[in-house]
Amino acid sequence: MHRARAVFVVSNKVGSSERFASWLLNKPQTAAVTVNANRLKSSTAAEPFLNGSSSAYVETMYNTWLSDPNSVHASWDAFFRNATNGAQPGAAYQSPPNLAPYSKNEVPLTSLVPASGGMPSISAGSPINEKIIDDHLAVQAIIRSYQARGHLAADVDPLGITTANLPDLGMRAPSSELIMRKYFKFDEADMDRVFKLPSTTFIGEKEKALPLREILNRLEQAYCNNIGIEFMFINSLEQCNWIRQRMEPPNVTKMSNDQKRLILARLTRSTGFENFLAKKWSSEKRFGLEGCEILIPAMKQVIDVSTRLGVESIIMGMPHRGRLNVLANVCRKPLHQLFTQFAGLEAEDDGSGDVKYHLGTYIERLNRVTNKNIRLAVCANPSHLEAVDPVVQGKTRAEQFYRGDNEGKKVMSILLHGDAAFAGQGVVFETMHLSDLPAYTTHGTIHIVANNQIGFTTDPRHSRSSAYCTDVARVVNAPIFHVNGDNPEAVMHVCNVAAEWRATFHKDVVIDIVSYRRNGHNEVDEPMFTQPLMYRTIRKTKPVLEKYADQLISEGVVTAEEVKDVKDKYEKICEDAYNQAKQETHIKYKDWLDSPWSGFFEGKDPLKMSATGVVEETLVHIGKRFSSPPPNAAEFEIHKGLLRILKSRMEMVENRTVDWALAEAMAFGSLLKEGIHVRLSGEDVERGTFSHRHHVLHHQKVDKATYCPLAHLYPDQAPYTVCNSSLSEYGVLGFEVGYSVTNPNALVLWEAQFGDFNNVAQCIIDQFISSGQAKWVRQSGLVLLQPHGMEGMGPEHSSARLERFLQMSADDPDYMPPECSDYEVRQLHDCNWIVANCSTPASYFHILRRQIALPFRKPLIIMTPKSLLRHPEARSSFDEMVDGTNFRRVITDDGPAAKDPSSVRKLSFCTGRVYYDLLKERRDRGLEKDIAICRVEQISPFPYDLIKAEVAKYPNAQLVWTQEEHKNMGSWSYIEPRFRTLLQNQKHIRAKSHSQEGSWFSQLFGRSQPARQTVETDCEKPRTISYNGRATAASPATGSKAAHNKELKNLLDEFCVL
């Protein structure tokens, strides 16, 4: 608010009724038409429409008339002619012909005539007095002014300070006079004149006209009391009227006694909870809600109304402030579970856990007010403020999707924000921009800002350049309600309206609870260091519970005894839970899960993976459908280039081969057939950045007529969604994380336009994808498709920064897991994510399908190709995809080198597209017998078992890792220590396997070790692996094509050195 307020020269605050009365005092009149007054020779008193604000207009008209009398309206022409011809004062004006019938005017004109002022009276049929029109226009302008800018004068700050650190505390919002009335002058005598109300106001309720005094009174009440509303920027008149209808009529915020008692009870719990924690754990950080305790009753009110209007499930995201209180009093999470978080107990289950004010929860319970069942989830979130916003939206969208809730009537989201973070974090904007996109909308989010007018130690004037912390919401036309957190009834009214708004228009809405922070940023912080004056005021401010209790006692709604009784009862509840918590010996992370997958894990062997190959008939069916134009091809005209693409696809199907796009379509299609929902999201994914995918065919003559073949493969298939996203990485990737955690039986993929851009979403990658399961026991099978490859396209179109993903892989480089039959699945089970760089379409097909074949879910990061999409050798046969085939973590050489391995002089490992460069070079130089190439398709978790066998197969070969990335990038720093471990371990394993067969294995896995192949080598000293690739660099790729080619040549030359 600081900016809005600072714009005006503020005067000492007076009561709202005095406030508007003060500016009604008559000011000296200024001369009406100054420049040409003499020439007009007409008295302004006798021509009253020349007064005040219209003078500039009259002057302009006069000057225009002087240059060309025909250029002004006939009425002005007559007036100026009469005036310059010396008409008597008051006689110059001649009314223009009446253009509109008066039938709609239900107020007799005579009643609108001013009681005094010496104007001629109106009799039926006589011309309308100009002053009446002007005054009406002025009143209309004032009404509009209140509607548009009343919020600037509203009394929404419980501390009554303009900004947190203004020295002259006690300053209040600028008066209504300055904001709404500056350009309109009325006398005290005008106050009792009746004015007809325009159709754009509802202050009159059933009355069509009101005295000016009452008009102003009601406008003050509606717009300048404890609620400030921003809504006039909304483009829809219907929506503006809807808000006016709910905010303008007198007494709209009035509550029944029962409602007041309910607010008091909820406020008692909210306050009591923080007090209890403060008493028991005085030096623990909990980011308490003190100063904004009304947040809890506010959320409950939003939930009550939304439930009454049909919502059954609410997904919430919120930051640290008041989070424990929300879990306790909004979600009703068992208090003893909350209290055990303070006890420093060990966890019973796996994971590294998170601090207590980040954990999520999921609760299904009866809403006692509406008597309906409701599901409430608070998403776990990281410290990174606002990062959870898109995740909540994705989860909400997914839940709506699975329930078939296409309009968002059953599932909705609530996002809570801090004032500083809401204004400062760009992801808020990105999330807002998803709110109305067809494949991302959640049909309206209720945003609640716990606006304590401070961010850690920073005042608003230093933390934002906008008037309000909520200005970001204006971009999506969301109405914004600023409300004084110390007026509980005003807060509840705003919550009612916001919930109804969401249910009516299914659009975002913002409730900005202006409040304060009674303590420091956390309970051990000293706020007086930085905000001494603000905190002096805070110390003098009574807690809202006390204020409200006093109010209700004085109104006779409750007695002091009742107030005490409610307080004592809650304290007893807390005390009992505290004692129960003391009995606990362990905490369970599972108690804090925000997305339980009921039924998914039950009865499953956690190490049993289903097959990923598919019967040929299915491949053919999907291939043909995917290669065919729309069924109504005669009418549906697609682009000629696409016809060619479809034709070549069909030829591939007939030849039992696939390219990248076809393999992807077959993976998606076969999963859809199996009832797995597939969703592919990202920038331009429908066509594909590289124009290879074409999942949506566009009619060339009919706008918006499209056809998506994969959505029409089988009559009973699962739904397929492919959607171009907004140009956002952070927001959209967060969204897909949320979508992916909702249901394990879905393949959710996000594709970066180029992998290079994934770092814009780094926070989501770090905070949710790589660490989410460890922190919150929440699994996600999300797939990140990352176009990657050094193809001379410069520093920002080459590298998905594979090294970063690998660095975050949590497998220990010094530990080589023992071999066993289910090695692959065990490794996958234990890793935090999978990182792969596939070199063949079949590999891509299998790894996508494996995501669903796994008995658990892990994120999958795939480096995907660019030039390989069309590379003639990057094709796979159906033979590599049919029943009985599987994902090959490592693709070994099967050429001449493999026929005589002991003669091979070099074994080069590599991953991804560089394989094709190596293949060509080896062929061109006739080195196929001398160099073996082994492709590592799954880089992490590192396939020790397969690589070990491959190393052993070529006992006399030097070992090399060839990569196209720079040395400090790509896979080298990941694979090098693992190769070292593997090469050292070979001897060690063989020695151990004779003496202690099975013992350490059974300790680890609880059963005896399966038979395994031991590899004999002649090496006494461990072999080593050397590096072949680009040198280290700061930038991922050169911008010079020549330098690129030179670098590539060097690495290929080096590759061939024997």
Ligand X SMILES: Cc1ncc(C[n+]2csc(CCOP(=O)(O)OP(=O)(O)O)c2C)c(N)n1
Q: Is 418 in the site for Mg ion (CB under 5 A)?
A: yes
Return d(Cα 789, Cα 864) in angstroms, integer: 8
Quickly list DSSP for 1022-1050: PP-EEEEEEPP-SSSS-S-HHHHHHHHHH
Report 354-413 residues binding ligand X (CB under 6 A): 383-385
Instruction: Compute CA distances 845 → 376, 591, 744, 757, whole Å.
Output: 37, 36, 19, 24
Return d(Cα 320, Cα 168) in angstroms, integer: 32
Return d(Cα 272, Cα 266) in angstroms, integer: 10
Q: Which is nearer to ligand X, 179 or 420 (CB)?
A: 420
Return d(Cα 134, Cα 215) in angstroms, integer: 17
Out of Mg ion, ligand X, none, what residue 456 binds, judged by CB under 5 to 8 A for its kind, is ligand X
CB 779 within 8 A of CB 773: yes
Q: Tell the smallest beta-carbon distance from residue 519 to Mg ion (Å).
A: 12
Quickly list DSSP for 223-267: HSSSEEEE-TT-S-HHHHHHHHHHHSSTTTT---HHHHHHHHHHH
Q: Which is nearer to Mg ion, 326 or 335 (CB)?
A: 326
Out of ligand X, Mg ion, none, what residue 450 binds, judged by CB under 5 to 8 A for its kind, is ligand X
Report 443-502 residues binding Mg ion (CB under 5 A): 452, 454-455
Q: Which is nearer to Mg ion, 320 or 677 (CB)?
A: 320
Conformational region of residue 886, where left means phi above 0, alpha means psi within -120 to 50, and beta covers everything else: beta
Q: Which is nearer to Mg ion, 529 or 714 (CB)?
A: 529
Report 467-526 residues binding ligand X (CB under 6 A): 517, 521
Report 420-439 residues binding Mg ion (CB under 5 A): 420
Q: Tell the smallest beta-carbon distance from residue 450 to ligand X (Å).
A: 6
Q: Which is nearer to Mg ion, 531 or 832 (CB)?
A: 531
Of 892, 909, 911, the C-alpha closest to 835 is 911
Q: Tell the smallest beta-carbon distance from residue 295 to ligand X (Å).
A: 10
Compute CA 86 distance to the chain's CA centroid, rounded to the nearest angstrom. 70
Sign of CA dihedral 22, 28, 32, 34: negative
Q: Tell the smallest beta-carbon distance from residue 509 to Mg ion (Å).
A: 20
Report 780-839 residues binding ligand X (CB under 6 A): none
Out of ligand X, Mg ion, none, what residue 383 binds, judged by CB under 5 to 8 A for its kind, is ligand X
Out of ligand X, Mg ion, none, what residue 384 binds, judged by CB under 5 to 8 A for its kind, is ligand X
Binding span for Mg ion by CB under 5 A among 150-158, 191-199, 370-378, 416-424: 416-424
Binding mask 277-316 for ligand X (x = CB under 6 A): ----------------------------------------
Report 316-345 residues binding ligand X (CB under 6 A): 321
**Which ranges of 627-771 would DSSP assign to H, the alpha helix?**
640-654, 660-673, 730-740, 762-764
Return d(Cα 875, Cα 844) in angstroms, integer: 11
Q: Tell the smallest beta-carbon distance from residue 173 to Mg ion (Å).
A: 20
Report 516-575 residues binding ligand X (CB under 6 A): 517, 521
Q: Which is nearer to Mg ion, 134 or 419 (CB)?
A: 419
Q: Is 456 in the site for ligand X (CB under 6 A)?
A: yes
* Cβ-proximal residues to 663 (8 Å cutoff; 6+ apart), any chain: 841, 842, 844, 845, 876, 881
Out of ligand X, Mg ion, none, what residue 665 binds, judged by CB under 5 to 8 A for its kind, is none
Q: Tell the smallest beta-carbon distance from residue 745 to ligand X (Å).
A: 33
Instruction: Compute CA distances 374 → 303, 325, 332, 410, 924, whole Å.
Output: 9, 19, 12, 10, 68
Q: Which is nearer to Mg ion, 418 or 941 (CB)?
A: 418
Binding mask 25-64 for ligand X (x = CB under 6 A): ----------------------------------------
Residues binding ligand X: what is the number (CB under 6 A)?
Answer: 15
Q: Tell the smallest beta-carbon distance from residue 328 to ligand X (Å).
A: 18
Out of ligand X, Mg ion, none, what residue 266 binds, judged by CB under 5 to 8 A for its kind, is none
Q: Tell the smallest beta-carbon distance from residue 729 to ligand X (Å).
A: 16
Out of ligand X, Mg ion, none, what residue 421 binds, judged by CB under 5 to 8 A for its kind, is ligand X
Sign of CA dihedral 574, 368, 597, 744: negative
Per-residue three-class SS string for 903-926 = HCCEEEEECCCHHHHHHHHHHHCC
CB 271 within 8 A of CB 383: no
Q: Is 419 in the site for Mg ion (CB under 5 A)?
A: yes
Out of Mg ion, ligand X, none, what residue 16 binds, judged by CB under 5 to 8 A for its kind, is none
* Cβ-proximal residues to 263 (8 Å cutoff; 6+ apart), any chain: 255, 297, 488, 489, 492, 548
* Cβ-proximal residues to 499 (8 Å cutoff; 6+ apart), any chain: 301, 302, 305, 306, 309, 446
Out of Mg ion, ligand X, none, what residue 1048 binds, judged by CB under 5 to 8 A for its kind, is none
Strand residues in 478-521 grouped as ranges (E): 480-484, 509-514
Q: Is 262 in the site for ligand X (CB under 6 A)?
A: no
Q: Tell the smallest beta-carbon distance from residue 419 to ligand X (Å).
A: 4
Per-residue three-class SS string for 416-469 = EEEHHHHHHCHHHHHHHCCCCCCCCCCCCEEEEEEECCCECCECHHHHCCCCCC
Q: Tell the smallest beta-carbon distance from residue 513 to ligand X (Å).
A: 11
Q: Is 161 in the site for ligand X (CB under 6 A)?
A: no
Helix pair 640-654, 660-673: axis angle to 10 deg: 70
Strand order in the sheet with 677-682: 720-724, 677-682, 746-751, 783-787, 860-864, 834-837, 938-940
Strand partners, 345: none
Binding span for ligand X by CB under 6 A among 396-404, 453-461, 667-675, 911-919: 453-461
Return d(Cα 499, Cα 85) in angstroms, integer: 64
Q: Which is nearer to ligand X, 460 or 912 (CB)?
A: 460
Q: Which is nearer to ligand X, 174 or 291 (CB)?
A: 291
Binding mask 413-452 for ligand X (x = CB under 6 A): -----xxxx----------------------------x-x
Containing 395, the helix (H) or strand (E) segment is helix 388-403
Residues binding Mg ion: what is the number (CB under 5 A)?
Answer: 6
Out of ligand X, Mg ion, none, what residue 638 binds, judged by CB under 5 to 8 A for its kind, is none
Q: Which is nearer to ligand X, 3 or 213 (CB)?
A: 3
Out of Mg ion, ligand X, none, what residue 978 binds, judged by CB under 5 to 8 A for its kind, is none
Q: Tell the smallest beta-carbon distance from residue 421 to ligand X (Å).
A: 3
Q: Tell the smallest beta-carbon distance from residue 760 to ligand X (Å).
A: 14
Q: Tell the smallest beta-carbon distance from residue 287 to ligand X (Å).
A: 7
CB 10 within 8 A of CB 468: no
Quickly list DSSP for 76-109: HHHHHHHHHTTPPTTTS--PPPP-S--TT--S-G
The residues binding ligand X (CB under 6 A) are 321, 383-385, 418-421, 450, 452, 454-456, 517, 521
The site for Mg ion (CB under 5 A) is made up of 418-420, 452, 454-455
